[in-house]
Amino acid sequence: MLDGPDEDDPDAPESVFSEKSPHEPDEFDPDSLGPEIPEAPSAPDGSAASDTAALFWKLVIVFNVALLALSVGPMFIYFEGNTDLGLRIFLVGVIAFAYGTFRYVRFRRSREGSDEDDGDGDATVADATDDPSTDHNG
């Protein structure tokens, strides 16, 4: 028998495989295999997270279009010699990139503005770290 003693046979001789540590529980508990998984904090109304996720995916698409147009436009000009179409595609990329950057910067400013307006005093941490005369070493 390679896999250990026969647990059903009470007359089986004791072996190394049948020895139990005094610290080993009688029955295996799979929930005891590590630390508990913390739950992620949720937004009070849940709409802020969905709005942020929607804007994120919208900007992913906008920046992908911008990257595609910024790279394909010059290829049309160089390889095909079609300057008019290549410039139009390139300009679409520039406009898409500018729009995506504008929306991202506006989102960041609105988030920073809402953090400062909380009034709990936690938003002043960024102001304290901007001062180079502050000694953080002790």
SS3 state at 42: coil
pLDDT tens figures, 58-107: 999 999 999 999 999 999 999 999 999 999 999 999 999 999 999 999 99
Tokens of 50: 């969905």
From residue 115, how far is each of 61, 66, 118, 130, 132 by CA, in Å? 28, 31, 6, 17, 23
Query: Shortest CA distance to 78 belongs to which of 64, 93, 89, 65?
Result: 89
**pLDDT of 24 higher than 90:** no
pLDDT of residue 39: 82
The percentage of residues in the chain with a pLDDT greater than 70, rounded to a whole number, is: 64
Q: Exposed (0-12), middle (13-18) or buried (19+): which is 99, by Cβ within 10 Å?
A: middle
